[in-house]
Amino acid sequence: MAALLLRPVGRYCLHGHLSPQLCIRKIHFSAVPLGTSAKEEMERFWNKNTGSNRPLSPHITIYSWSLPMAMSIGHRGTGVALSAGVSLFGLSALLLPGNFESHLELVKSLSLGPVLIHSAKFALAFPLTYHTWNGVRHLMWDLGKGLKIPQLTQSGVAVLVLSVLSSLGLAAM
Amino acid sequence: MAAAARVSLRRRFPAAALGGACLQACRGAQTAAATAPRIKKFAIYRWDPDKTGDKPRMQTYEVDLNKCGPMVLDALIKIKNEMDSTLTFRRSCREGICGSCAMNINGGNTLACTRRIDTNLNKVSKIYPLPHMYVIKDLVPDLSNFYAQYKSIEPYLKKKDESQQGKQQYLQSIEDRDKLAYRWMIDSRDEFTEERLAKLQDPFSLYRCHTIMNCTRTCPKGLNPGKAIAEIKKMMATYKEKKASA
Protein backbone atom coordinates (compact mmCIF):
# COMPACT_ATOMS: atom_id res chain seq x y z
CA MET A 1 0.00 0.00 0.00
CA ALA A 2 2.01 2.95 -1.24
CA ALA A 3 0.16 6.07 -0.13
CA LEU A 4 0.47 8.79 -2.69
CA LEU A 5 2.13 11.69 -0.92
CA LEU A 6 0.23 14.67 -2.23
CA ARG A 7 1.84 17.94 -2.98
CA PRO A 8 -0.12 21.19 -2.67
CA VAL A 9 -0.34 22.89 -6.05
CA GLY A 10 -0.65 26.63 -5.69
CA ARG A 11 -3.20 28.28 -7.89
CA TYR A 12 -3.65 31.99 -7.91
CA CYS A 13 -7.21 33.34 -8.08
CA LEU A 14 -7.90 37.03 -8.49
CA HIS A 15 -11.31 38.09 -7.34
CA GLY A 16 -11.73 41.41 -9.10
CA HIS A 17 -15.06 42.31 -7.54
CA LEU A 18 -13.85 42.05 -3.93
CA SER A 19 -10.77 44.24 -4.01
CA PRO A 20 -8.30 44.82 -6.80
CA GLN A 21 -5.36 45.00 -4.34
CA LEU A 22 -6.15 41.69 -2.57
CA CYS A 23 -4.66 38.64 -4.23
CA ILE A 24 -6.38 35.60 -2.85
CA ARG A 25 -4.45 32.37 -3.31
CA LYS A 26 -6.28 29.09 -3.30
CA ILE A 27 -4.21 25.97 -2.64
CA HIS A 28 -5.59 22.85 -4.29
CA PHE A 29 -4.35 19.32 -3.60
CA SER A 30 -3.85 17.38 -6.76
CA ALA A 31 -2.12 14.09 -7.39
CA VAL A 32 1.41 15.41 -7.92
CA PRO A 33 3.63 12.83 -6.21
CA LEU A 34 6.70 13.86 -4.17
CA GLY A 35 10.14 13.29 -5.70
CA THR A 36 11.17 10.08 -3.99
CA SER A 37 9.43 7.49 -1.85
CA ALA A 38 10.87 6.34 1.46
CA LYS A 39 11.84 3.01 -0.08
CA GLU A 40 13.69 4.71 -2.94
CA GLU A 41 15.54 6.96 -0.51
CA MET A 42 16.64 3.96 1.54
CA GLU A 43 17.87 2.17 -1.57
CA ARG A 44 19.82 5.23 -2.69
CA PHE A 45 21.34 5.50 0.77
CA TRP A 46 22.62 1.93 0.72
CA ASN A 47 23.89 2.08 -2.86
CA LYS A 48 25.70 5.34 -2.23
CA ASN A 49 27.34 4.34 1.03
CA THR A 50 28.32 0.74 0.35
CA GLY A 51 29.99 1.88 -2.84
CA SER A 52 31.93 4.63 -1.11
CA ASN A 53 35.02 4.52 1.08
CA ARG A 54 33.20 6.12 4.02
CA PRO A 55 34.05 4.57 7.39
CA LEU A 56 31.42 3.39 9.87
CA SER A 57 31.55 5.36 13.11
CA PRO A 58 32.70 3.32 16.13
CA HIS A 59 29.98 1.84 18.37
CA ILE A 60 30.68 -0.96 20.86
CA THR A 61 34.23 0.25 21.39
CA ILE A 62 33.18 3.75 22.47
CA TYR A 63 29.68 3.53 23.98
CA SER A 64 29.63 3.78 27.76
CA TRP A 65 28.22 0.72 29.52
CA SER A 66 25.24 0.79 31.88
CA LEU A 67 23.55 -1.81 34.09
CA PRO A 68 20.44 -2.30 31.91
CA MET A 69 22.65 -2.65 28.80
CA ALA A 70 24.91 -5.23 30.46
CA MET A 71 21.93 -7.15 31.85
CA SER A 72 20.31 -7.23 28.43
CA ILE A 73 23.36 -8.83 26.80
CA GLY A 74 23.60 -11.11 29.85
CA HIS A 75 20.03 -12.26 29.20
CA ARG A 76 20.96 -13.14 25.63
CA GLY A 77 24.21 -14.82 26.72
CA THR A 78 22.57 -16.93 29.41
CA GLY A 79 19.81 -17.82 26.96
CA VAL A 80 22.32 -19.12 24.43
CA ALA A 81 24.26 -20.94 27.17
CA LEU A 82 21.12 -22.60 28.52
CA SER A 83 19.99 -23.72 25.06
CA ALA A 84 23.45 -25.10 24.31
CA GLY A 85 23.53 -26.83 27.69
CA VAL A 86 20.15 -28.47 27.24
CA SER A 87 21.03 -29.56 23.70
CA LEU A 88 24.36 -31.00 24.84
CA PHE A 89 22.63 -32.86 27.66
CA GLY A 90 20.12 -34.33 25.23
CA LEU A 91 22.76 -35.30 22.69
CA SER A 92 24.99 -36.92 25.27
CA ALA A 93 22.03 -38.84 26.68
CA LEU A 94 21.50 -40.13 23.14
CA LEU A 95 25.09 -40.78 22.10
CA LEU A 96 27.30 -41.40 25.13
CA PRO A 97 27.57 -44.87 26.64
CA GLY A 98 26.17 -45.53 30.11
CA ASN A 99 23.28 -43.87 31.90
CA PHE A 100 22.88 -40.88 34.22
CA GLU A 101 23.68 -42.93 37.36
CA SER A 102 26.98 -44.14 35.93
CA HIS A 103 28.02 -40.58 35.05
CA LEU A 104 27.04 -39.41 38.54
CA GLU A 105 29.21 -42.22 40.05
CA LEU A 106 32.09 -41.06 37.82
CA VAL A 107 31.90 -37.49 39.18
CA LYS A 108 31.63 -38.80 42.78
CA SER A 109 34.68 -41.02 42.30
CA LEU A 110 36.76 -37.95 41.43
CA SER A 111 36.49 -36.97 45.13
CA LEU A 112 36.49 -33.28 44.40
CA GLY A 113 36.53 -30.89 47.37
CA PRO A 114 33.13 -29.65 48.62
CA VAL A 115 34.11 -26.04 47.75
CA LEU A 116 34.72 -27.00 44.13
CA ILE A 117 31.49 -29.00 43.96
CA HIS A 118 29.52 -26.10 45.45
CA SER A 119 30.98 -23.49 43.14
CA ALA A 120 30.42 -25.74 40.12
CA LYS A 121 26.76 -26.17 41.16
CA PHE A 122 26.48 -22.39 41.60
CA ALA A 123 28.01 -21.81 38.15
CA LEU A 124 25.49 -24.18 36.59
CA ALA A 125 22.50 -22.76 38.49
CA PHE A 126 23.24 -19.07 38.00
CA PRO A 127 22.51 -18.82 34.24
CA LEU A 128 19.17 -20.55 34.85
CA THR A 129 18.09 -18.35 37.76
CA TYR A 130 19.34 -15.12 36.13
CA HIS A 131 17.56 -15.87 32.86
CA THR A 132 14.37 -16.81 34.71
CA TRP A 133 14.20 -13.73 36.93
CA ASN A 134 15.24 -11.37 34.11
CA GLY A 135 12.62 -13.17 32.00
CA VAL A 136 9.96 -12.11 34.49
CA ARG A 137 11.31 -8.52 34.22
CA HIS A 138 10.96 -8.77 30.43
CA LEU A 139 7.37 -9.95 30.76
CA MET A 140 6.57 -6.94 32.94
CA TRP A 141 8.04 -4.71 30.22
CA ASP A 142 5.84 -6.43 27.61
CA LEU A 143 2.85 -5.41 29.75
CA GLY A 144 4.18 -1.84 29.58
CA LYS A 145 5.16 -1.71 33.26
CA GLY A 146 8.40 -0.51 34.84
CA LEU A 147 9.85 1.26 31.78
CA LYS A 148 11.03 4.43 33.54
CA ILE A 149 14.77 4.81 34.07
CA PRO A 150 14.85 4.63 37.93
CA GLN A 151 12.50 1.62 37.77
CA LEU A 152 14.89 -0.03 35.33
CA THR A 153 17.78 0.21 37.79
CA GLN A 154 15.64 -0.93 40.72
CA SER A 155 14.24 -3.98 38.93
CA GLY A 156 17.73 -4.78 37.57
CA VAL A 157 19.31 -4.86 41.01
CA ALA A 158 16.36 -6.88 42.34
CA VAL A 159 16.86 -9.47 39.58
CA LEU A 160 20.58 -9.77 40.35
CA VAL A 161 19.99 -10.21 44.09
CA LEU A 162 17.24 -12.78 43.51
CA SER A 163 19.42 -14.69 41.03
CA VAL A 164 22.35 -14.95 43.43
CA LEU A 165 20.10 -16.01 46.31
CA SER A 166 18.23 -18.66 44.30
CA SER A 167 21.50 -19.98 42.82
CA LEU A 168 22.91 -20.35 46.32
CA GLY A 169 19.73 -22.08 47.37
CA LEU A 170 19.81 -24.49 44.43
CA ALA A 171 23.51 -25.20 44.92
CA ALA A 172 22.95 -26.04 48.59
CA MET A 173 20.42 -28.75 47.74
CA MET B 1 46.18 36.88 51.53
CA ALA B 2 45.06 40.04 49.74
CA ALA B 3 42.64 40.84 52.60
CA ALA B 4 45.44 40.60 55.15
CA ALA B 5 47.53 43.06 53.14
CA ARG B 6 44.58 45.45 53.10
CA VAL B 7 44.16 45.34 56.90
CA SER B 8 47.87 45.93 57.62
CA LEU B 9 48.03 48.89 55.22
CA ARG B 10 44.98 50.50 56.85
CA ARG B 11 46.57 50.37 60.29
CA ARG B 12 49.75 52.06 59.13
CA PHE B 13 48.35 54.63 56.68
CA PRO B 14 44.83 55.66 57.60
CA ALA B 15 44.52 58.04 54.60
CA ALA B 16 41.50 57.36 52.37
CA ALA B 17 43.52 57.71 49.16
CA LEU B 18 45.79 54.87 50.17
CA GLY B 19 42.70 52.78 50.98
CA GLY B 20 41.54 53.20 47.37
CA ALA B 21 44.96 52.20 46.03
CA CYS B 22 45.12 49.04 48.08
CA LEU B 23 41.59 48.10 47.03
CA GLN B 24 42.79 48.20 43.44
CA ALA B 25 45.79 46.05 44.40
CA CYS B 26 43.39 43.53 46.01
CA ARG B 27 41.27 43.45 42.88
CA GLY B 28 44.38 42.93 40.76
CA ALA B 29 45.48 40.04 42.97
CA GLN B 30 42.03 38.45 42.73
CA THR B 31 41.83 38.67 38.95
CA ALA B 32 45.39 37.38 38.70
CA ALA B 33 44.32 34.33 40.72
CA ALA B 34 41.30 33.84 38.41
CA THR B 35 43.30 33.90 35.18
CA ALA B 36 45.24 30.71 35.95
CA PRO B 37 44.18 28.82 32.82
CA ARG B 38 42.05 25.68 33.22
CA ILE B 39 43.15 23.55 30.30
CA LYS B 40 40.75 20.79 29.21
CA LYS B 41 41.69 18.22 26.62
CA PHE B 42 39.25 17.21 23.89
CA ALA B 43 39.93 14.10 21.83
CA ILE B 44 37.85 14.39 18.67
CA TYR B 45 37.21 11.85 15.86
CA ARG B 46 38.58 13.11 12.54
CA TRP B 47 38.29 11.76 9.01
CA ASP B 48 38.75 13.63 5.75
CA PRO B 49 37.13 12.15 2.61
CA ASP B 50 39.20 14.44 0.37
CA LYS B 51 42.52 13.20 1.71
CA THR B 52 43.33 10.01 -0.20
CA GLY B 53 44.20 7.10 2.07
CA ASP B 54 43.16 8.99 5.21
CA LYS B 55 42.14 6.75 8.10
CA PRO B 56 39.83 7.76 10.95
CA ARG B 57 41.89 9.06 13.87
CA MET B 58 41.56 10.92 17.15
CA GLN B 59 42.93 14.45 17.36
CA THR B 60 43.46 16.15 20.72
CA TYR B 61 42.80 19.85 21.27
CA GLU B 62 43.43 21.90 24.41
CA VAL B 63 40.89 24.52 25.43
CA ASP B 64 41.10 27.03 28.29
CA LEU B 65 37.75 26.63 30.04
CA ASN B 66 38.05 30.16 31.47
CA LYS B 67 37.76 31.52 27.95
CA CYS B 68 35.05 29.16 26.75
CA GLY B 69 31.30 28.74 27.20
CA PRO B 70 30.07 25.91 29.41
CA MET B 71 28.73 23.56 26.73
CA VAL B 72 30.58 21.13 24.48
CA LEU B 73 29.32 22.99 21.41
CA ASP B 74 30.98 26.16 22.71
CA ALA B 75 34.28 24.26 22.86
CA LEU B 76 33.82 22.85 19.34
CA ILE B 77 33.09 26.31 17.92
CA LYS B 78 36.06 27.77 19.78
CA ILE B 79 38.33 25.06 18.36
CA LYS B 80 37.01 25.67 14.86
CA ASN B 81 37.38 29.44 15.14
CA GLU B 82 40.77 29.63 16.81
CA MET B 83 42.66 26.38 16.37
CA ASP B 84 41.53 24.22 13.46
CA SER B 85 39.06 25.56 10.93
CA THR B 86 38.87 22.16 9.18
CA LEU B 87 36.95 20.61 12.11
CA THR B 88 33.51 19.81 10.69
CA PHE B 89 30.26 19.36 12.61
CA ARG B 90 26.57 20.21 12.31
CA ARG B 91 24.93 22.83 14.52
CA SER B 92 22.01 25.25 14.35
CA CYS B 93 19.79 26.39 17.23
CA ARG B 94 22.36 26.05 20.07
CA GLU B 95 19.48 25.60 22.50
CA GLY B 96 18.71 21.87 22.39
CA ILE B 97 15.67 21.84 20.12
CA CYS B 98 16.80 21.31 16.54
CA GLY B 99 18.91 18.17 16.99
CA SER B 100 21.63 19.15 14.51
CA CYS B 101 24.57 18.82 16.94
CA ALA B 102 23.73 15.24 17.98
CA MET B 103 26.93 13.31 18.61
CA ASN B 104 28.51 10.82 21.01
CA ILE B 105 30.15 12.66 23.91
CA ASN B 106 32.06 10.61 26.51
CA GLY B 107 30.24 7.45 25.49
CA GLY B 108 26.68 8.80 25.46
CA ASN B 109 24.62 10.15 22.57
CA THR B 110 23.48 13.72 23.29
CA LEU B 111 23.27 17.21 21.88
CA ALA B 112 26.56 19.11 22.11
CA CYS B 113 24.74 22.37 22.85
CA THR B 114 23.08 21.08 26.03
CA ARG B 115 25.88 18.84 27.37
CA ARG B 116 28.07 20.65 29.87
CA ILE B 117 31.83 20.21 29.57
CA ASP B 118 33.09 17.97 32.39
CA THR B 119 35.28 20.40 34.34
CA ASN B 120 37.54 17.62 35.66
CA LEU B 121 40.80 18.61 33.98
CA ASN B 122 42.35 15.19 34.57
CA LYS B 123 39.93 13.58 32.15
CA VAL B 124 39.96 13.87 28.38
CA SER B 125 36.57 14.60 26.76
CA LYS B 126 36.01 12.08 23.98
CA ILE B 127 33.85 13.19 21.08
CA TYR B 128 32.70 10.80 18.37
CA PRO B 129 30.04 11.00 15.69
CA LEU B 130 26.76 9.13 16.26
CA PRO B 131 27.67 5.40 16.51
CA HIS B 132 27.34 2.93 13.64
CA MET B 133 26.62 5.51 10.93
CA TYR B 134 28.43 6.20 7.68
CA VAL B 135 30.69 9.21 8.24
CA ILE B 136 30.60 12.00 5.66
CA LYS B 137 33.38 13.99 7.35
CA ASP B 138 34.67 14.34 10.93
CA LEU B 139 31.57 14.47 13.17
CA VAL B 140 28.98 14.57 10.35
CA PRO B 141 27.05 11.29 9.76
CA ASP B 142 24.84 10.41 6.77
CA LEU B 143 21.30 10.76 8.12
CA SER B 144 19.36 10.15 4.88
CA ASN B 145 18.35 6.61 5.89
CA PHE B 146 17.08 7.97 9.20
CA TYR B 147 14.98 10.59 7.40
CA ALA B 148 13.69 7.93 4.99
CA GLN B 149 12.58 5.81 7.95
CA TYR B 150 10.76 8.84 9.37
CA LYS B 151 9.08 9.43 6.01
CA SER B 152 7.97 5.78 5.93
CA ILE B 153 5.84 6.17 9.06
CA GLU B 154 3.87 8.97 7.36
CA PRO B 155 4.23 11.54 10.15
CA TYR B 156 1.06 13.50 9.51
CA LEU B 157 -2.61 13.24 10.45
CA LYS B 158 -4.73 11.19 8.08
CA LYS B 159 -8.51 11.30 8.00
CA LYS B 160 -10.76 8.97 6.05
CA ASP B 161 -12.85 11.90 4.89
CA GLU B 162 -10.64 14.85 3.94
CA SER B 163 -13.49 17.04 2.77
CA GLN B 164 -13.88 18.75 6.16
CA GLN B 165 -10.27 19.97 6.06
CA GLY B 166 -9.77 23.58 7.05
CA LYS B 167 -13.30 24.16 8.28
CA GLN B 168 -12.59 23.81 11.98
CA GLN B 169 -9.66 23.11 14.27
CA TYR B 170 -9.13 19.44 15.02
CA LEU B 171 -9.10 19.49 18.83
CA GLN B 172 -7.33 17.02 21.08
CA SER B 173 -8.12 15.94 24.63
CA ILE B 174 -5.61 16.47 27.44
CA GLU B 175 -5.24 12.71 27.93
CA ASP B 176 -4.25 12.31 24.32
CA ARG B 177 -1.73 15.13 24.54
CA ASP B 178 -0.01 13.31 27.42
CA LYS B 179 0.82 10.37 25.20
CA LEU B 180 2.75 12.45 22.69
CA ALA B 181 5.57 9.94 22.43
CA TYR B 182 3.96 7.39 20.13
CA ARG B 183 1.93 10.22 18.82
CA TRP B 184 0.89 8.99 15.41
CA MET B 185 -0.52 5.72 16.75
CA ILE B 186 -2.66 6.95 19.58
CA ASP B 187 -3.63 10.38 18.22
CA SER B 188 -7.41 10.13 18.28
CA ARG B 189 -7.68 12.57 15.37
CA ASP B 190 -5.82 10.16 13.11
CA GLU B 191 -8.13 7.58 11.62
CA PHE B 192 -5.59 5.31 9.98
CA THR B 193 -4.46 3.53 13.18
CA GLU B 194 -5.19 0.08 11.78
CA GLU B 195 -3.23 0.73 8.61
CA ARG B 196 -0.30 2.18 10.59
CA LEU B 197 -0.24 -0.92 12.78
CA ALA B 198 -0.56 -3.23 9.77
CA LYS B 199 2.51 -1.62 8.22
CA LEU B 200 4.57 -2.75 11.20
CA GLN B 201 3.51 -6.39 10.81
CA ASP B 202 6.88 -7.79 9.72
CA PRO B 203 9.87 -9.14 11.63
CA PHE B 204 11.90 -5.96 11.23
CA SER B 205 10.06 -2.65 11.54
CA LEU B 206 8.97 -2.97 15.16
CA TYR B 207 10.22 -6.31 16.43
CA ARG B 208 13.94 -5.59 16.18
CA CYS B 209 13.42 -3.75 19.48
CA HIS B 210 14.66 -5.93 22.36
CA THR B 211 13.86 -3.49 25.17
CA ILE B 212 17.49 -2.64 25.80
CA MET B 213 16.30 0.88 26.79
CA ASN B 214 19.44 2.76 25.74
CA CYS B 215 17.11 5.10 23.84
CA THR B 216 15.31 6.39 26.94
CA ARG B 217 18.56 6.66 28.92
CA THR B 218 20.16 8.84 26.29
CA CYS B 219 17.26 11.07 25.20
CA PRO B 220 18.36 14.69 25.68
CA LYS B 221 14.74 15.87 25.89
CA GLY B 222 13.69 13.38 28.58
CA LEU B 223 11.33 11.43 26.33
CA ASN B 224 10.65 7.69 26.73
CA PRO B 225 10.75 6.05 23.28
CA GLY B 226 11.25 2.62 24.89
CA LYS B 227 7.89 2.84 26.63
CA ALA B 228 6.24 4.16 23.47
CA ILE B 229 7.50 1.16 21.47
CA ALA B 230 6.28 -1.19 24.20
CA GLU B 231 2.84 0.43 23.95
CA ILE B 232 2.87 0.02 20.16
CA LYS B 233 3.72 -3.68 20.61
CA LYS B 234 0.71 -3.98 22.91
CA MET B 235 -1.47 -2.31 20.29
CA MET B 236 -0.18 -4.75 17.68
CA ALA B 237 -1.26 -7.65 19.87
CA THR B 238 -4.80 -6.37 20.35
CA TYR B 239 -5.81 -4.69 17.10
CA LYS B 240 -6.38 -7.97 15.28
CA GLU B 241 -8.88 -8.88 17.96
CA LYS B 242 -10.61 -5.56 17.37
CA LYS B 243 -10.78 -6.31 13.65
CA ALA B 244 -12.12 -9.80 14.30
CA SER B 245 -14.83 -8.58 16.63
CA ALA B 246 -15.84 -5.73 14.28
Distances (CA, A) of B66 to B74, B138, B218: 12, 26, 28
At B76 the pLDDT is 97
SS (H, E, C) chain A: CCCCCCEEEEEEECCCCCCCCCCEEEEEEECCCCCCCHHHHHHHHHHHHHCCCCCECCCCCCCCCCHHHHHHHHHHHHHHHHHHHHHHHHHHHHHCCCCHHHHHHHHHHCCCCHHHHHHHHHHHHHHHHHHHHHHHHHHHHHCCCCCCHHHHHHHHHHHHHHHHHHHHHHHHC
**C-beta separation of B216 from B226 below 8 A:** yes
At B34 the pLDDT is 60
Interface check for A8 against chain B (CB to CB < 8 A): the answer is no
The answer to whether B213 contacts A58, with C-beta atoms less than 8 Å apart, is no
Banded pLDDT at B238 (limits 50, 70, 90): confident
Q: Residue A127: what residue type?
A: P
- Virtual CA dihedral for A155, A158, A159, A165, nearest 10 degrees? -170
| For range B202-207, the mean pLDDT | 80
Q: Which of A128, A134, A135, A141 is nearest to A169 (CA)?
A: A128
Banded pLDDT at B241 (limits 50, 70, 90): low
pLDDT over 90 (residue B158): no
* Residue B31, in any domain of the structure: no
Minimal-distance CA residue of chain B relative to A140: B230
Chain B residues in contact with A156 (beta carbon < 8 A): none
More confident residue, B28 or B64: B64
More confident residue, A17 or B182: B182
Q: Is the domain of B45 the same as that of B136?
A: yes
At A15 the pLDDT is 45
Q: Is the dihedral of CA B175, B222, B210, B194 positive or negative?
A: positive
Interface check for A161 against chain B (CB to CB < 8 A): the answer is no
Q: Which of A92, A95, A85, A166 is nearest to A132 (CA)?
A: A166
Judged by CB atoms within 8 Å, which residues 75-134 of A form the interface with B?
A: none
At B166 the pLDDT is 72
**C-beta separation of A57 from B135 below 8 A:** yes
* Residue B17, in any domain of the structure: no
Chain A residues in contact with B145 (beta carbon < 8 A): 41-42, 45-46
Instruction: Give the one of B104, B144, B214 whose C-beta lies nearest to A69's C-beta.
Output: B214
Instruction: Give the one of A41, A55, A72 whose C-beta lies nearest to B144's C-beta.
Output: A41
* Residue B195, in any domain of the structure: yes
Minimal-distance CA residue of chain B relative to A42: B145
**C-beta separation of A54 from B144 below 8 A:** no
* Residue B100, in any domain of the structure: yes
SS3 content of chain B, % helix, strand, coil (to 5): 40, 15, 45
The answer to whether B145 contacts A45, with C-beta atoms less than 8 Å apart, is yes
Segments of chain A scoring below 50 in pLDDT: 1-3, 12-20, 23
pLDDT over 90 (residue B14): no
* Residue B138, in any domain of the structure: yes
How confident is the model over B57-91, as pLDDT tens digits? 999 999 999 999 999 999 999 999 999 999 999 99
Banded pLDDT at B21 (limits 50, 70, 90): low
The Cα A52–Cα B165 span in angstroms is 45
Banded pLDDT at B20 (limits 50, 70, 90): low
Interface check for B205 against chain A (CB to CB < 8 A): the answer is no
| For range B128-144, the mean pLDDT | 96
pLDDT over 90 (residue B113): yes
* Residue B18, in any domain of the structure: no
The answer to whether A56 contacts B154, with C-beta atoms less than 8 Å apart, is no
CATH class (in words) of the domain with range A67-172: mainly alpha
At A18 the pLDDT is 47
* Residue B84, in any domain of the structure: yes
Q: Is the domain of B69 the same as that of B126?
A: yes
- Name the residue range of residue B179's domain: 154-159+172-245
* Residue B22, in any domain of the structure: no
Q: ipTM of this predicted complex?
A: 0.74
More confident residue, B176 or A58: A58
At B183 the pLDDT is 72
The Cα A122–Cα A170 span in angstroms is 8
Interface check for B43 against chain A (CB to CB < 8 A): the answer is no
Interface check for B122 against chain A (CB to CB < 8 A): the answer is no
pLDDT over 70 (residue B106): yes
Neighbours of B81 (CB within 10 A): 10
Q: How many domains does chain B have?
A: 2
Minimal-distance CA residue of chain B relative to A152: B213
Give chain B's mean pLDDT.
Answer: 83
Work out how many CB contacts closer than 8 A connect A with B. Answer: 109
At A140 the pLDDT is 96
The Cα A41–Cα A43 span in angstroms is 5
The full DSSP string for B58-84 is EEEEEEEGGGS-SBHHHHHHHIIIII-
Tell me which DSSP letter residue B139 carries: T
Q: Is the domain of B47 the same as that of B123?
A: yes
Distance from CA of B9 to the nearest CA of A (A): 56
At A14 the pLDDT is 47
At B246 the pLDDT is 47
**C-beta separation of B59 from B43 below 8 A:** yes
The answer to whether B145 contacts A53, with C-beta atoms less than 8 Å apart, is no
How confident is the model over B159-172, as pLDDT tens digits? 787 776 777 776 77
At B178 the pLDDT is 59
The Cα A15–Cα B41 span in angstroms is 66
| For range B19-43, the mean pLDDT | 71
| β-sheet bridge partners, residue B124 | B41
Q: What is the CATH number of the domain that holds B134?
A: 3.10.20.30
At B159 the pLDDT is 79
